[in-house]
Amino acid sequence: MVRPIGILAGLGFVAVLLWSLVWGAVAFIQEPPQPTAEHEFHKHPRDAGLSSAGLLGKYDRQQLQRGFQVYKEVCAACHGLKYVAFRDLQDLGYSEAEVKAIADQWAIETPSVNPETGEAATRKNLPADNFPSPYPNEVAARAANNNALPPDLSLIAKARHDGSNYVYSLLTGYRDPSPELLREFPDSKPGQGLYHNPYFANLNIAMPPPIVSEGQVTYTDGTRPTVDQMSKDVAAFLTWTAEPKLEQRKSAGLASLVFILVFCFLAWGAYKNVWRGEPH
């Protein structure tokens, strides 16, 4: 008795699924989804041409240092790097003394506790500390940014599709809405406190253009600080914060590939030697 009931219940589920599938297909044909501004006018990221891209790509340490300088002078006022420690900067080519100086002179100090009173306090940053958030909490962050929450940038290059190119394209993508967009979708015009950027998911972003003019940052290595160059450099730096072991991962992958190829060749040779036919 149990088996027929189970079979009937299974057939019922299959029938419901088939009905839902057919009904959904009919509804899609009769009333196809309406085009949206995000679907028609959203742009895919442009290629930043970073040296870390590609199968054998490697980081350009000088570019990473320039990118850190852009982050420090432009981005750090609103965005944190909570998963990156000051001492990690040694991987970019900074000496131990330079890292100590960067941590000690960082504008935001690390939250602490006064050992004498037990009250909340702050102290100078140490190389072992992670980069402190520019805001004490989410409420303060939203209050300072018209209720928009600036995301932490530690993993932004991994959290967004094609993250390195996305960061570069977003920083260089601010512009006025096109006449075609406003004609087809009048509601897409940025409201108060919003800025049009076709590389952002819904076209309008609360972050004002952070890099606005050439020379906004003065590079110590003499590189010309154009808007495009600064955007590429900070995109490279944020790629490193998201994947600090990228070079080791690629090296390990290449070594594994070579090993597999050699192993396959040896296995094929052993097969031909062991299983070869007897001579007639």
Annotated binding site for heme c: 75, 78-79, 207
DSSP letter, residue 153:
-
Q: What SS3 state is found at 121? A: strand
Nearest partner of 78 among 166, 205, 207, judged by Cα: 207
The Cα 208–Cα 150 span in angstroms is 11
Residues of the binding site: 75, 78-79, 207
Secondary structure in 3-state letters for 34-67: CCCHHHHHCCCCCCCCCCCCCCCCCCCHHHHHHH
φ/ψ of 135, rounded to 5, equals -125, 145
219 and 69 in contact (C-beta within 8 Å)? yes
The Cα 125–Cα 86 span in angstroms is 9
What is the distance between the terminal CA atoms of the chain, rounded to a whole angstrom? Answer: 67
Helix 61-70 to helix 227-242 angle (10° resolution) is: 100
Residues linked to residue 196 through DSSP beta bridges, in sequence order: 204
For the chain, the residue count is 280
Long-range contacts of 51-58 (CB under 8 A, 24+ apart): 51/236, 52/164, 52/236, 52/239, 52/240, 52/246, 53/164, 55/250, 55/254, 56/250, 56/254, 57/246, 57/250, 58/247, 58/250
